[in-house]
Amino acid sequence: MKLVRYGAIGAEKPGMLDAEGTLRDLSAHVSDIAGDALSDVGLAKLRAIDPATLPAVAGSPRIGACVGNIGKFMCIGLNYSDHAAETGAEIPKHPILFFKANSAVVGPNDDVSMPRGSTNTDWEVELGVVIGTKAKYVSKENALDHVAGYCVINDVSERHFQTQLTGQWTKGKSCDTFGPTGPWLVTRDEVADPQNLAMSLDVNGKRMQTGNTSTMIFTVAEIIEHLSGLMTLHPGDVITTGTPPGVGMGMKPKPVYLKKGDVMELTIEGLGQQRQTVTEDA
């Protein structure tokens, strides 16, 4: 299934894409794409619905983040061997974890607004993983059983805030609008292998990132095993799993960063596309 949230910011409704790509309204069956609706039982109930019986949504509504009421937004850094190489970083021995504030989450096609004082705002296409079943001390062998589905995430990053303002990476990762998520939550039964998905990101029509989840240092299953050994993962928690090479910070001979009016376009195989225009905070 491809599950969607659509409508005005803060008033999104749950939806589903049918086989022809028509958006159908799920409001009569579930209040949101969140919480218990993401469990195996909850998804089975939605899967049993004949999409043809659902009202078609008219027009072209705004698409919101594909998960509502996100609990934790966890991010894995330097998780692609080729990205680590471009930044000159050592391969980590364990998954590098930081958090992105939930207030950064926006829809996949909403504007990305650079904060005041930003000079080094960067792009990062990433595979998002949405937890559907509570996970604590799970092994990598059954870790994927706890996944509701997958999505596209742009882990937008202000590199000066991230690396030069004393403290953690979170400072450069949590600015408002820095977490475009969606367009769809694609349930795990439709993703045969999360470790073999092509991904790309363009800026103003120029290809900047080309990669594949096969070059992850830590697999999705290994990440879930590691995180669930540190804290309980709950339905609706989101994990974004790192980015392939081609970020602005790694450009040679000097870094290239976003400016007002730039357009980012992201895609991950089978998970849909995002498109954001860069603006500036007033």
Q: What distance in Å separates the CA atoms of residue 192 and residue 201, rounded to the nearest whole number?
A: 22
pLDDT digits (tens, 9 = 90+) for 173-214: 999 999 999 999 999 999 999 999 999 999 999 999 999 999
Q: What pLDDT, on a 0 to 100 scale, did the predictor assign at position 125?
A: 98
Instruction: Residue 73: name the closest of 183, 158, 155, 157 by CA.
Output: 155
pLDDT of residue 90: 83
- Per-residue pLDDT, averaged over 124-138, amounts to 98
Per-residue model confidence as pLDDT tens digits over 112-121: 999 999 999 9
Q: How confident is the model over 30-67, as pLDDT tens digits?
A: 999 999 999 999 999 999 999 999 999 999 999 999 99
Q: Are strands 105-106 and 96-99 parallel, antiparallel or unpaired?
A: unpaired
Section 81-93 average pLDDT: 80
Write the CB contacts of 95 (distance below 8 Å, at least 6 apart in sequence): 76, 79, 218, 222, 223, 226, 227
Position with higher pLDDT, 162 vs 233:
233
- Mean of the per-residue pLDDT values of the chain: 96
107 pLDDT band (50/70/90 cuts)? very high
- Say if residue 86's pLDDT is above 90: no
The domains located in the chain, with CATH, are 2-53 (no CATH), 73-280 (3.90.850.10)
- Sequence-distant (6+) residues with CB within 8 A of 23 are 4, 6, 15, 16, 17, 56, 57, 61
| pLDDT above 90 for 279 | yes
Q: How far apart are CA 239 and CA 130, in angstroms?
A: 6
pLDDT band at 91 (very low <50, low <70, confident <90, very high): confident
Q: What percent of the chain has pLDDT over 70?
A: 100
The reported pLDDT for the residue numbered 213 is 97
Q: What is the spatial distance between Cα 154 and Cα 156, in angstroms, rounded to a whole number? A: 6
Name the β-bridge partners of 63.
6
Look at phi and psi of residue 117 and say left if phi exceeds 0, alpha if psi is from -120 to 50, else beta: left
Token digits of residue 101? 């504030």
The single residue listed with the structure tokens 């159908």 is 24
Question: Could you report the per-residue pLDDT of 9-30, keeping only the tens digit for each?
Answer: 999 999 999 999 999 999 999 9
The pLDDT value recorded for residue 138 is 98
pTM, whole model, 2 decimals?
0.96
pLDDT of residue 227: 98
pLDDT surpasses 80 at 243: yes
